Each structure stands twice: as C-alpha cells, then as structure tokens.
Amino acid sequence: MKTKTHHHNANGYASESSGSNSPSPPPSPRRQYSSFNHSRRRVRSKCQSTLAGGIIFRRKLRYLLVLPLLYVSGLLMCVGPFSALVGLSSPPGSVYRSRETFQRLWPDIQFDNSTAIQLSSVWGHKPQRRLKEQKPCPNSTAQQQQESLGSVGYLIVEANGGLNQQRSAICNAVAVAGLLNAILVIPRFEFHNVWRDPRVIRIAPFANRLAMNVPPHIQHLRCLVNYEALRFSSPISALAKKLVNRMIEKSSRTGGKYVSVHLRFEEDMVAFSCCLYGGGEAEKIEMDSIREKGWRLKFKQKGRVILPGLNRIQGKCPLTPLEVGLMLRGMGFDNNTSIYLASGKIYQAEKHLAPLLKMFPYLHTKESLASSEELAPFEGYSSRLAALDYTVCLFSEIFVTTQGGNFPHFLMGHRRFLYGGHAKTIKPDKRKLVLLLQDKDTSSWKGFKDEMQAMLAESDRKGSIVPRVKKFNRKSSVYTYPFPECRCLQKPQNTGIGSNMHL
C-alpha cells in the first residue's frame, strides 16, 4: 500500500505526498459533486485539527519536562552570594567558610594537649590474606623476553603530557609490543623525531589506550616496566635522592619519618575547578579572566552554567592549604610533624599558606630543600620538577592526596608495591569535609577531631584493599592496585630508600 506523509506548507497547513514505491493516488473527484467535496473538507479539517492538537500537546509536554529542570536550576543558582540577596540560606557545604572555622578553632588547636599520633603506628590494617598467596613469576629471564620480541616491525609511542601520562604510555606501549610481537622504539622526549620506516606503527597519544583486562603475561610486562625498567635520568634521580635524605634529616623529631602532601592549589587548577574561596567579586573576575586566557570559550559554551557552590558540595573543589592543615591536625598530627608539600606555584601563596605554617611550622618544599643552583637545570620543565616531587612523596611515611589525577594514582600503587600491599595514603572524603568546615555550629575541636580520626581510619581500611582479580576481568588500574599480578616482582624488605633510589 502507498504511505501518505503529511508535510506543512508555508502557511502551516498539512499537505499530502506519497512514497515512491506505492501506487498512484486516486483521481480527485469532480467539482460538481459539491456535497462530497464539502464532506471531504470537513474530514481534512478534522485531521488538521487533530494533527495541530498533537503538535501543541507535544510542545506542552516538552515544557512540562523542562520546567522542573529550570526550577531545580533556579534553586542551584541561589547557592552562594545570590542567596543572601533574596534571603535564602545556602545549602550546607556550598560556601567556603574554612577561614572562619580555623579562627574559631585555633585557640583549642593551640592548647590541644592530647597525645600526638605516632607516624610509625598510623596504619592498623594488615595486608589481606589473599595478598600473601605468592604466585611464581612467569618463567622468563630478561634475555628470553628480549628474544620473544620478534622483528615484525617497530612500535613507536609518543609519550607526551605529564610525568605519569608518560609512564602510563610507556608501560602500555611495552604491553602492546608484546601483543604484537614487535620491537618497541621509544624516542627521547627532548626531541621530536620523525620516523619514516614503513614498518612502523605509530600510536599517539597512548596513555590510556590499552584495557586493564589483558592476559597475565602481558600484565606482567606492565609490572616489569613500571617497577623495574623505568628509571628517572641520572640528574633527576641524583637530586631526588638528596631531597629525600634532607627531608629525613629535618624529621629527626619524628624518627626520620615525614608526611607528604600533593596539593593541587595552583592558579590554573583553581580557575579550572570553577570554585570560589571567599575572595568576593574580585576573585570571581580574576578567575573568569584566567579561564578566558587558558581555555578560550570552553566555559562560555551555550547552556553551560558555572555553579561554584554545587561543585564544592560534590567534592570537586581543590582543598586549600588551610583545609589540609585542619584535617591533619584533626587526625592527630601535631606541630612537630614534618610536611613535604608537592605542588606548583600556590595561588595567592602568602595568604593561603600562612594558616598551614601556623599549624605545621616544619613545612618544606623542593624549593626550600634545594639551592637555586641545584634547581636551575629543572626550571621550566614541569615533568622534571614533578619527578622530584614524585620521589620525595614515594618515600614518605604517609602520602596525602587532595584532588585525584594520574600523579596520586601512580603513587598509591607504587607505595602499595613498596610497603607490603598498603598504600599508606590519606584520601579525604571531601564531601564530608566541606560540611564540617562550613558548619557554624561545630560544637568543639574534639567533635571535629572525632570526625577526622574516623576519616583516617577509613583511609587506612581502603589503603589495604586488594581487588579480586579473576582471569581477564580486571577493571581497576594495575598501576593503582598492582597486586596480585605484580606480587612476584616484590623483593623482601623492599621498603628502604637505598634499594629503591634507582628510579
């Protein structure tokens, strides 16, 4: 049968057209049959009314669906300064009031005479039982592995991006070379070589191109590269070793043990997060300007709404130095604790670092541990500077991550590998933390400490988790959770600096 399709002409009325594969329409009736024409017009009018009614209904239904979204958006728009104008209270955790909380609690923090936490006894959880099940490594020496890589072709990988993107790219590239039975070629990063060999497979970028559920012998290649083969260049490893030893010397009050903090509170990070930190309209204008310079129109795309309060509630805002300090003091680390701060240039450093220095006067950075002459070869190279931070954080007794990303994920896995299966990492629950820091009714410093110590215990529990890995079904990253696949590479007593400073 022929299918009729309704089209709207310029006046909004429906006309009929037919499909190409159907028989021709019947001839139009003669004009003299006026009564038939009148009936036909009535039927057509009725059809048009029905069609128009359906269109109107669909439009109304669309509005009915959109209106609740607009209403919710309107409520969210009330988060922050605008809510004060209309007399509405801000949702809990949506406004940065950590500075006021610090000023209110500081007298109690100063006179807190409770016993300080011992760094060597922070972690109560022991590695899970299944971690102790030692499986033999694949029966292959380095020579056998080298011979197994045939001459099918060359795999060239561009390892651009940050330090740990490069690390991930190299590990994955070796794994793919094993899958392809190919010779792997990794160019030096300082140069942009152009490879014209017709046998070349060129894959770029490569950091996250290979799934985690690969055969065991391929997973073993990843482990071998990440924990045995990959090493920093001699200039980096030499200065990194000096920085670690200097941190140990400056931590004599705590038996040579120190806490490292990866702080993502650089200017560009704060701007990209779209969060506000109590600087009023001047801060908002400054952040808008930075976003405009760094990302052009990315944050001005149609339909995009910036909601700093909602970002904060959802735990997406970078922690400030002050918030990290309050959290650590609440967990029981006293002002004798040595802190290594791994970070780029802190946003408004003088303002934001002052409270942290009050709480932890023994605060160090690579800039304070090394001379300007020692750091000169690294200036302007973010990956080289990150490599120094990575090494000092790797050998700290406790590592604190504040914002996610490749850097902390690789560190957590590397520290699990070194420390018997435990990440020894504090990963704060930021959604909970912002509620506590904004709460004007926080009754006491003791109440805040109780919450922070519960958060530390949860980090301890999660730090010792080993994912259940069945054959070919791993979903978590082997770089963050190296066991059980990388267990065979572990060396006994592999927790000292001397045996691991070959990075």
Spatial distance between the Cα atoms of 272 and 291, rounded to a whole number of angstroms? 7
What integer pLDDT is reported at residue 31 of this predicted model? 42
Nearest to residue 437, comparing CAs of 99, 79, 78? 99
Nearest to residue 503, comparing CAs of 248, 145, 243, 247? 243
Q: Looking at per-residue confidence, does 472 or 456 come out higher? A: 456
Distance of CA 337 to the CA centre of its chain: 27
Spatial distance between the Cα atoms of 421 and 417, rounded to a whole number of angstroms? 6
Nearest to residue 387, comparing CAs of 288, 241, 287? 241
Q: How confident is the model at residue 127 (pLDDT cuts 50, 70, 90)?
A: low
What integer pLDDT is reported at residue 194 of this predicted model? 38
Spatial distance between the Cα atoms of 373 and 96, rounded to a whole number of angstroms? 39
Spatial distance between the Cα atoms of 78 and 68, rounded to a whole number of angstroms? 16
Counting every residue, how long is the chain?
503
- pLDDT tens per residue, range 288-334: 888 888 787 787 777 778 888 898 999 999 999 999 999 999 999 99
- R_g of the chain computed on alpha carbons: 31
- pLDDT tens per residue, range 407-433: 999 999 999 999 888 899 999 999 999
Nearest to residue 127, comparing CAs of 398, 461, 479, 499? 461
What integer pLDDT is reported at residue 225 of this predicted model? 87
Measured in degrees and rounded to the nearest 5, phi and psi for residue 15 equal -120, 170
Spatial distance between the Cα atoms of 48 and 282, rounded to a whole number of angstroms? 58
Please say whether the dihedral angle defined by the alpha carbons of residues 340, 344, 350 and 354, taken in this order, is positive or negative: negative
What integer pLDDT is reported at residue 116 of this predicted model? 86
Provide the token pair at 472.
Answer: 């070919």
- Reduced to 3 states, what is the DSSP secondary structure of residue 81? helix
Spatial distance between the Cα atoms of 416 and 404, rounded to a whole number of angstroms? 17
DSSP codes, 348-374: THHHHHHHHHHH-S-EE-HHHHS-HHH
Q: Looking at per-residue confidence, does 391 or 167 come out higher? A: 391
Nearest to residue 365, comparing CAs of 253, 258, 224, 500? 258
% residues pLDDT > 90 (the chain): 29
Q: Is the pLDDT of residue 230 over 60?
A: yes
**Stated pTM of the model:** 0.74
DSSP codes, 251-262: TGGGTT--EEEE
Spatial distance between the Cα atoms of 479 and 276, rounded to a whole number of angstroms? 33
DSSP codes, 279-347: -HHHHHHHHHHHHHHHHTTGGG-TT----HHHHHHTT-SPPPHHHHHHHHHHHT--TT--EEEE-SSBT
